[in-house]
Amino acid sequence: MKSTVLDGYTLNPGDLDWSGLQSLADCSIFDRTLPEQVVQRAQGSEIVLTNKVVLSEAEMAALPGLRYIGVLATGVNVIDLDAARKRDIIVTNVPAYSTPSVAQHVFALMLELTRGVGRHSRLVHAGHWVNSPDFAFWDSPQIELAGQTVGLIGFGGIGQSVARIARAFDMRVLVHTRTPDPQGWPQVEFVSLDEVFSQADILSLHCPLTEDTDHLVNARRLAMMKPSAFLINTGRGPLIDEIALAKALDAEALAGAGLDVLSKEPPAADNPLLAAKNCLITPHLAWATRAARQRLMDTVVANVRAFLSGSPQNLVS
């Protein structure tokens, strides 16, 4: 049996081991694959693994032997699931592998926004402390997290992990979700969408990208937020209207933002957030700790093994 990995580099840039997957089938592994290379590279494969490379109905039609698509991630928007169902192609994903890493990154962004550790280290190395007349200096407000209100939109595994960490920091936690669970989370307040925008000192996005959540954060809702508030997004870039956010930051209608995702990745050079005031941007790496990627690799191998045994797991189609 032949298998093909279309874009394995982000999962394994060289510090993990493909041998578990290679032991299950004759496996061709490509770091990256352009759209026009998909059919050629996957030809003859019954198993195709992809992270961001799109598999549409056209690719599936050109690969008549394809029986299984394994997504090297949680989101499956790169797969035409209807076309897969019509062709009896099994599609699986990898849920929850990055939860601890993403929650940690949320607080890395939060702490940088509120304390400026990296910023002040750069200032020290630039000579500002050497030339200071005082024993201490700071050039941005120093904000204590205890007593601050963090608002979470979405309350799946990552949102819940962020809530637990926030409580350890003695923060008040507000949550907006379609499935509130007040009895299961007595230390969390479940509120309306307008309330979470208007009351949060720090607002963090953890909801999926759907038609309803596309540009969930827009000019109208940004205007509801406190001018002193911060916005964090480790979910999906299109949850935010980037032009509206850049305008709010530049007008100081919002204190700052910490983003690990953008609407287009890599971003265009003219993305307004690249030049916006107090906008921290990291390059979609919240998920990418070695520990998280090892969990991802282990589950990918387990998914393929389960498919070959006739009992597929983590099915999405």
Domain ranges, ordered by start, for the chain: 2-97+290-308, 99-281
Rounded CA gap, 152 and 203, in Å? 6
Residue 18: its pLDDT value, please? Answer: 98
Name 204's bridge partners: 152, 232
Residue 270: its pLDDT value, please? Answer: 97
Rounded CA gap, 18 and 130, in Å? 50
Q: Per CATH, which fold does 99-281 belong to? A: Rossmann fold (3.40.50)
Domains 2-97+290-308 and 99-281 equal at CATH topology level: yes
Rounded CA gap, 188 and 295, in Å? 29
Dump pLDDT digits (tens) for 210-223.
Answer: 999 999 999 999 99
Name 175's bridge partners: 152, 190
User: What are the strands, taking DSSP E only, across 140-201?
Assistant: 149-153, 172-176, 188-190
Rounded CA gap, 40 and 33, in Å? 10
Dump pLDDT digits (tens) for 24-64.
Answer: 999 999 999 999 999 999 999 999 999 999 999 999 999 99
Rounded CA gap, 6 and 43, in Å? 12
Instruction: Give me the chain's average pLDDT, please.
Output: 97
Check 87, 119, 167, 284 and give the catalytic one. 284
Residue 265: which pLDDT band, with cuts at 50, 70 and 90? very high
Residue 81: its pLDDT value, please? Answer: 97
Is 67 annotated in the active site? no
CA angle 216, 186, 228 (to 5 degrees): 45
Residue 102: its pLDDT value, please? Answer: 98
CATH of domain 2-97+290-308: 3.40.50.720
Share of the chain above pLDDT 90, in %: 99
Q: State the residue for tokens 């709010």.
A: 248
Dump pLDDT digits (tens) for 92-150.
Answer: 999 999 999 999 999 999 999 999 999 999 999 999 999 999 999 999 999 999 999 99
Residue 203: its pLDDT value, please? Answer: 99
- What is the layout of strands, in order, in the sheet containing 68-71? 26-29, 2-5, 47-50, 68-71, 90-92
Check 236, 242, 293, 295 and give the catalytic one. 236
Dump pLDDT digits (tens) for 61-94.
Answer: 999 999 999 999 999 999 999 999 999 999 999 9
Q: Which helix (H) or strand (E) holds 165?
A: helix 157-168
Is 236 annotated in the active site? yes
Dump pLDDT digits (tens) for 9-22.
Answer: 999 999 999 999 99
